[in-house]
Amino acid sequence: MGATLNSPVYVSDWLKYEAGSYYSRGSGLVASGSGALVSGTVLAKVAATGKYVPAAASGSDGSQTASTILVAPVDATSADAPCIVVENHALVSHAGLTWGSTINDATKRAAAIAQLRAVGIKVREGA
pLDDT tens digits along 59-110: 999 999 999 999 999 999 999 999 999 999 999 999 999 999 999 999 999 9
The pair phi, psi for residue 126, each rounded to 5°, is: 70, 10
Render pLDDT for 4-43 as a digit per residue (tens, 0 to 9): 667 788 899 999 999 999 999 999 999 999 999 999 999 9
Determine the Cα–Cα distance for residues 22 and 36; give it in Å rounded to an integer.
Answer: 24
- Rounded-to-integer distance, Cα 88 and Cα 116, Å: 8
Spatial distance between the Cα atoms of 63 and 14, rounded to a whole number of angstroms: 22
Domains of the chain: 28-124 (2.40.300.10)
